[in-house]
Structure 1
Amino acid sequence: MRAKYFMAVNRNGVYTSVIMLLAVLLYFSYLGKTPIYILDEAKNAQCAREMFDRSDWVVPTFNQELRTDKPPFHYYCMMTAFKLFGVNEFSARFFSAIFGLLTLLITYYFVRKHLGQKKAFMAVLVLLSSLHFTFEMRLAVPDPYLIFLLSACLFSIFTFIQTEKNKFLWFTYIAMGLGILCKGPLAVLLPGLIVFVYLIVTKDLSFKRILSFKPLLGLFVVLIISLPWYLAVDKATNGAWVKGFLLNHNVHRFTDVKEGHGGFFGLTTLYILIGFLPFSVFIVQIIKKSISNWANPFIKFSVVTVLTFWLFFTVSDTQLPNYPMPAYPFMALLIGNYLFDVISGIAKGSFQIPLMVYLIITLVLPMGIYLALKNEPPLARFTYLAIPFLVLPISACITRLLWSRNQIMGIAVMSGAFILTSFIFFSFIYPKVYSQNPVVKSLGLIQTGRPVVAFKKYNPGYNFYLNHPIKRFTDVDSLRRFIELHPNCVLITREGTLADLKSIKNIQIVFSGKDLFEKPVTVLLTTTASYETNNHSN
């Protein structure tokens, strides 16, 4: 008995070590190498920086204007990292990677508790193989924090239902409270809806069951954690932050298309299928396996969780790839549950169709990346960066050769190929590509001390690297008056607005660069006299 115990402990230590090693490799390697350029990263990182510079833990601002997009939890984490490591790209993303690692560990812990050690490791391997999941854990955005908190909340509440141990109830409500500080009411709404549906499905919905959750205690814990900041920001902004957040970034995101992020009805499904490559090629088999294991409470709860997230964001008018991601650990355990049956020889039937789909996808992917680079003018000379993605079709061929004789090795090759590709992509290819963005390429043209202004839309990455407010104009007359008073200013705008600026004399373009993989062209202008003086001095 004792020998078996120590063998189990040793295996658990090996699995945990492998998980942590791969997570560090994927989430932390060259984390600060890619510039802050993506709109969400730029706004979140700069908002945290402005709060950090003011030592302000209450009012979020971007460009010294109130930012109502998100509550402050991720800002607090970034501010802490700025204090530890200085203000830079690595610091802005550091705690995203930390929460990515924590998500893997809690997934492993709870799946091991309910389904066993090997299935737990398979579930985590699925997450590590996901390019989408790895990408999200390397961004300076609130989603890695929310994914962890909602996963912790849902894993804990299910475990409480199964065990009646109060410590898991405490974990649930603490995660909910922090979730409200991370993303708002969604952190209570979705877990509450999932538990409600699960209790209906299991015919366990009753007044007695509801009371077992100690809802008054839960409300107290959630409010103690989240309410003080909401009251403070409401008072500091005269209600403007709470109104803007609840209406514009909660109700309107669900009922209207925000910031152009709409799409067709099946877009959320497509996001999930792409996000879980390579193993989503087995989606039909995974669904069948989950149905056959419906009697297992943990499988049932996971199916309810995935379907709730999928349906909720399918009917939402605003659709983004990151929206259904809090359900990813539960989708991963369903996939891991199926893969365990494959390597155990339990899963029978033909694998020819999914393996053929896998081969086709991996053949198309390098070609698609090659064409994307070739047709993007700033990146046309980097088409050779598609070569490392040939690892994927090569791995698909090896998988097909191995599958009939050794399915464990087949799955290992599939997973290993995507993990290796993720490492190469995020450590070398992605930083090289995004260093060609117009913000980085034009920063050298903006001299210290010169006023920098913007007309209508511009890339917020400028704020992070210049670290001072950029006065933004929306009408030409006000801009003209400003330029007359500050003839040495630099104007940032987009090519589409140049027709509006024809009435302003003596300004000329000093830089023009297309935004990567997007239509807008960033343009820098300055007065002719200022430009000639600068060239003469150089």
Structure 2
Amino acid sequence: MWNFLTPERQNPGQPQTGHRLGLLLLGLAGLGIFLFRLGTPGLMDPDEGRYAEIAREIWVLQDWLIPHLNFLPYLEKPPLVYWLTAFSFRVWGYTEWAARLPVALSAWGGIFGAYYLGRAFWGTGPGFCGALILTTSLGYMALGRILTLDMPLAFFLNLGVGLGYLALSRERRELLPWAYLALALAVLTKGPVALVLAGLVWGGWALLARRPWLRALWHPGGLLLLVGLSLPWFVGAAWRYPDFLRFFIWEQHFGRFLTASFHHQQPFYYYVPVLFGLLLPWGWLLPWALGSRRGDAPGDRLFLWVWTGVILLFFTLSRGKLAPYILPALLPLALLLGEALHGLTERGRPYWQSRGLALSLGIWALSGWFLVGLYFWPPAFLAQPGAKLAILSPYLPLGLIILALVPTAALIWRRLAVLFLGALLLCALIPGGIEQVSKQRSPREMGLVLKSHWQPGAALIGYQLYSQGLSFYSGQVFHLLDFRTELDFGRSLDPATGLFFAGPEEMAAFADSRPLSFFFLKEKAFPRLKRLLAGNFQSLARYKDCLLVAYRGK
């Protein structure tokens, strides 16, 4: 593997030695990192439970046009990931493996995209280094093993942006249809924000490079492919529910960007530490890589800087901020890091003679050992918050020790390969850490208990509480006491479902009319429920501070 860190560099237009070996190594690394024990953790609420349940309800309702959640229309996002997950369920069954497989394959595909783009820019070695850095970035790996929409969006968006840039910069117009195809799939993953981001990246680069781009991007066949693939679903959803476009475009896009109504407000500097965390362990080298000077013109590096800057600036300006939003920025940053590290060996200069890199490694090592000290010997004011991290034992302390040892060993033995080996060792800990977290955030055990106790005529009632994952694991729909949920828009589109109670009295009458009811509620709400209903209660399962309670009426 480490042959790719040698100074060999060939013309990107020529066949390159090691190309097939690079693909093989990246493929094997990706298979292990993204698929090993993928199905072991339970699906976690809210995101994993939500998207798995939407895919399950596609088969239950046989409705491939309108996504449903709790048997109500759910139109916050387009349906591509739901479709892929539903197909995965058909092949593999209703399992955690099947639910996460489309996301894992998106992450796996993303590392090949990084490799080919880096290879087109600088050659096999830098492309391999950049792809391996992306693969071993802890944020990329973790999000590649969790069912959300962010990894598929990053894959399709980055593929489209990269192919479009190659079409513009290399005058390879045959790539434009493929770029527009990827962007169409990105739109079907999370909406037209993909087109906005791609346009800003291409336009920003063209402006700085003084290159024409609007006319160069004109490709009737490619644009027809983009419109033909992405538009029909929006038309169909608007035909079924005329209020859809107002809700989807204004509330879910402009509302999230311009207003604080979605409760994801963060300070303007929020993405600085988030980016550093997502890139771990490589985040410590980022200032050196971005600030290191080259003798040649910026060239493709300028495009990667613009690509990163557009993603970070766009979501920094947004009022609603979540960490996974900037996932598409990891690929260009990984390529810049890979090119900078490989460039040291290529120029025949030992990397430890680079003052900037040596300083970065020193800061990394000191920070790592400081974190190790904080974990094992925490000051009094950190003792209580630190106790909450016990759930991640032994993976967190092992990870901190490796995080400190890696730069220390690289400075002592002066081998660049130590950094990549250490990053791979850190990746080996991530699956276990996710499994530990899932024990606190997954309702799998509760869902299986509910499924085992279910009988004809029973009902599942959410007492001012709702769990998407509990529906998935039990296969049952929730009846809900009226409170604000993500189901509100779907309820307004289909108000006659009978799944909502106007008040506690209506809920109590419904429960007494059933031979058996299962209540999902907060533990602190249980005394209030017992005052409302006079029948017999049996506590069946606990999940965090939530209870599953069986009730038989009077």
Identity, % of aligned positions: 20
Aligned-partner Cα distance in 1 for 2:466–2:343: 52
Question: Which residue number corresponds to residue 305 of structure 2?
Answer: 303
Question: Which residue number corresponds to residue 282 of structure 2?
Answer: 279
After TM superposition, give the deviation of residue 46 of structure 1 in Å: 0.7
Question: Which residue number corresponds to residue 386 of structure 1?
Answer: 394
User: Does residue 1:252 correspond to 2:281, yes or no?
Assistant: no
Question: Which residue number corresponds to residue 268 of structure 2?
Answer: 265
Q: Secondary structure at the match of 2:394?
A: helix
CA distance 1:294–1:60, change in 2 (3 Å): farther
User: Does residue 1:188 correspond to 2:191, yes or no?
Assistant: no
Question: Which residue number corresponds to residue 504 of structure 1?
Answer: 532
Match of 1:226 among 213, 225, 230: 230
Match of 1:493 among 521, 528, 539: 521
Mapped contact 2:66–2:75 kept (Cα < 8 A): no
Larger mean CA deviation between 17-26 and 29-38 belongs to 29-38
Aligned-partner Cα distance in 1 for 2:193–2:406: 44
Question: Which residue number corresponds to residue 439 of structure 1?
Answer: 443
Question: Which residue number corresponds to residue 172 of structure 1?
Answer: 179
After TM superposition, give the deviation of residue 500 of structure 1 in Å: 5.7
Structure 2 counterpart of 1:11, which letter? G
Aligned-partner Cα distance in 1 for 2:356–2:195: 42
Q: Deviations over 1:261-284 (max 9, x none)?
A: 222211112111111111211222
Mapped contact 1:108–1:121 kept (Cα < 8 A): yes
Q: Secondary structure at the match of 2:548?
A: strand
Aligned-partner Cα distance in 2 for 1:420–1:394: 8
Question: Which residue number corresponds to residue 334 of structure 2?
Answer: 332
How is 1:287-298 mapped onto 2 (pairs within 5 angstroms)? Answer: 287-289=290-292, 292=294, 295-298=297-300
Gaps of 5+ in 1: 516-520, 531-538
Aligned-partner Cα distance in 1 for 2:384–2:316: 28
> What is the root-mean-square deviation of aligned Cα atoms in Å?
2.9
After TM superposition, give the deviation of residue 389 of structure 1 in Å: 3.9
Question: Which residue number corresponds to residue 325 of structure 2?
Answer: 323
Structure 1 counterpart of 2:191, which letter? G
How is 1:2-13 mapped onto 2 (pairs within 5 angstroms)? Answer: 10-13=17-20
Q: Deviations over 1:1-42 (max 9, x none)?
A: xx999x965511111111011100010011111111231111
Mapped contact 1:293–1:299 kept (Cα < 8 A): no
Q: Secondary structure at the match of 1:471?
A: strand
Q: Secondary structure at the match of 1:456?
A: coil
Aligned-partner Cα distance in 1 for 2:512–2:91: 43
Aligned-partner Cα distance in 2 for 1:25–1:112: 23
Mapped contact 2:159–2:179 kept (Cα < 8 A): yes
TM-score, reference length from structure 1: 0.87
Aligned-partner Cα distance in 2 for 1:332–1:293: 21
Match of 1:154 among 148, 161, 164: 161
CA distance 1:210–1:352, change in 2 (3 Å): closer
CA distance 1:43–1:494, change in 2 (3 Å): same
Question: Which residue number corresponds to residue 135 of structure 1?
Answer: 142
Q: Secondary structure at the match of 2:300?
A: helix
Mapped contact 1:388–1:421 kept (Cα < 8 A): no
Aligned-partner Cα distance in 1 for 2:274–2:414: 31
User: Does residue 1:98 correspond to 2:105, yes or no?
Assistant: yes
CA distance 1:373–1:523, change in 2 (3 Å): farther
After TM superposition, give the deviation of residue 44 of structure 1 in Å: 0.7
Match of 1:354 among 338, 347, 360: 360
CA distance 1:267–1:171, change in 2 (3 Å): same
Aligned-partner Cα distance in 2 for 1:417–1:285: 19
Q: Deviations over 1:41-71 (max 9, x none)?
A: 1111110110123332201001101111210
Match of 1:459 among 444, 464, 467: 467
Q: Deviations over 1:153-196 (max 9, x none)?
A: 11111101122222211111111111111111111111001111
Structure 2 counterpart of 1:45, which letter? A
Structure 2 counterpart of 1:118, which letter? G
How is 1:527-538 mapped onto 2 (pairs within 5 angstroms)? Answer: 527=551
Q: Deviations over 1:129-157 (max 9, x none)?
A: 21110111112222221111111111111
CA distance 1:293–1:149, change in 2 (3 Å): farther
Question: Which residue number corresponds to residue 535 of structure 1?
Answer: none
Larger mean CA deviation between 83-92 and 342-351 belongs to 342-351
Mapped contact 1:389–1:421 kept (Cα < 8 A): no
Q: Secondary structure at the match of 2:44?
A: coil
CA distance 1:442–1:79, change in 2 (3 Å): closer
Aligned-partner Cα distance in 2 for 1:301–1:221: 25
Match of 1:30 among 30, 33, 37: 37
Match of 1:59 among 61, 66, 73: 66
Mapped contact 1:366–1:386 kept (Cα < 8 A): no
Question: Which residue number corresponds to residue 49 of structure 2?
Answer: 42
How is 1:74-89 mapped onto 2 (pairs within 5 angstroms)? Answer: 74-89=81-96
User: Does residue 1:241 correspond to 2:251, yes or no?
Assistant: no
Question: Which residue number corresponds to residue 534 of structure 1?
Answer: none
Aligned-partner Cα distance in 1 for 2:196–2:462: 39
Aligned-partner Cα distance in 1 for 2:448–2:71: 24
CA distance 1:391–1:50, change in 2 (3 Å): closer
Q: Deviations over 1:58-100 (max 9, x none)?
A: 0100110111121011111111111211121111111111111
CA distance 1:292–1:11, change in 2 (3 Å): closer
Aligned-partner Cα distance in 2 for 1:8–1:199: 29
Question: Which residue number corresponds to residue 204 of structure 1?
Answer: 211
Aligned-partner Cα distance in 2 for 1:394–1:67: 43
After TM superposition, give the deviation of residue 388 of structure 1 in Å: 6.5
Match of 1:341 among 334, 340, 343: 343
Mapped contact 2:521–2:547 kept (Cα < 8 A): yes
Aligned-partner Cα distance in 2 for 1:90–1:123: 28
CA distance 1:44–1:445, change in 2 (3 Å): closer
Gaps of 5+ in 2: 1-9, 483-502
Aligned-partner Cα distance in 2 for 1:356–1:527: 61
User: Does residue 1:400 correspond to 2:424, yes or no?
Assistant: no
Match of 2:80 among 73, 83, 86: 73
Q: Secondary structure at the match of 2:94?
A: coil
TM-score, reference length from structure 2: 0.84
